[in-house]
Structure 1
Amino acid sequence: MDELDVSGEEKRAPSRLIPFALILLFLAGTSFGFLKSSFFLVEHIDILGLTTISSGEIAVLSDYVKDTNIFDVDLIMLAERIEAHPRVDKVLVARKLPSTLVLNVTERAQVAVMPYSGYYVLVDADGFAIAIAESYGAKDPPLITGIRPQQVLVGKRIESQGLDSVLLVATILPPNLSKEVSEISYSIATGISIYLQSGTWVTLGLGTRNEYLTRLDVLHSLLLRLNEENRHASYIDVRFPKRPVIKHTN
Structure 2
Amino acid sequence: MSQEKNKRRKTRRAAGQAPERQKRRRRKGNNILWYLLILVFMVTTTIVLTTTVFFKIKNITVTGNEHYDNRSLILSSGILLEENMFRLKDEQIKEKLVEEYSYISKVKIRRKLPDTIVLEITEATPIGAIDAGAGYTLISEEGRVLECNTPVLPEEMPIVMGFSEETPEQGSYLSEMDSDNVKRMQMIMKAAEKTGFSYFNIIDLSDPYDLKLYYQEVFEIILGTDSNLEYKMELILKVIETQNLLTGFRGTIDASYEGEVWTRPSGSVAIPDYSSQLSNDAADPAGDDGSTSDSGSATSQPEDNGFSVGAA
Q: Is the TM-score greater than 0.5?
A: yes
Pairing 1:55–2:70 present = yes
Cα distance in 1 between the residues matched to 2:152 and 2:86: 46
TM-score by length of 2: 0.69
Larger CA deviation: 234-243 vs 27-36? 27-36
Structure 2 CA distance, aligned partners of 1:167 and 1:87? 18
SS, match of residue 187 in structure 1: coil
Q: Output the amino acid matched with 2:168.
A: V
Query: Partner residue of 2:47?
Result: 32
**Further displaced range: 214-223 or 63-72:** 63-72
CA distance in structure 1 between the aligned counterparts of 2:186 and 2:27, rounded to whole angstroms: 79
Correspondent of 2:149 among 129, 133, 141: 133
Q: Where does structure 2 lack aligned partners over 5 or more consecutive residues?
A: 1-14, 268-312
How is 1:159-198 mapped onto 2 (pairs within 5 angstroms)? 159=175, 160=178, 162-174=181-193, 176-178=196-198, 180-188=199-207, 191-198=210-217
Q: Which moved more, 1:184-193 or 1:225-234?
A: 225-234
What is the Cα deviation at residue 176 of structure 1?
A: 4.8
- Aligned residue for 1:41, secondary structure, equals coil
The answer to whether 1:246 aligns with 2:273 is no
1:201/1:167 CA distance change after superposition, 3 Å: same
Distance 1:138 1:88, change over 3 A: closer
Query: How do residues 1-40 of structure 1 correspond to structure 2 at under 5 angstroms?
Result: 1-2=15-16, 3-17=18-32, 20-21=35-36, 23-40=38-55
2:89 aligned residue (74, 88, 91): 74
Identity %: 17
20-29 or 40-49: which moved more?
20-29
Q: Is the 8 A contact 1:166 1:192 kept in 2?
A: no
Gaps spanning 5+ residues in structure 1: where?
Answer: none
In the other structure, the counterpart of 2:9 is none
TM-score, normalized by length of structure 1?
Answer: 0.83
Aligned alpha-carbon RMSD (Å): 2.8
Contact 1:46 1:103 in 2 (8 A): yes
Give 1:224 deviation, angstroms. 1.4
2:58 to 15, 25, 43: 43
For residue 40 of structure 1, give the secondary structure of its aligned residue in structure 2. coil
Q: Which residue of 2 aligns with 1:103?
A: 119
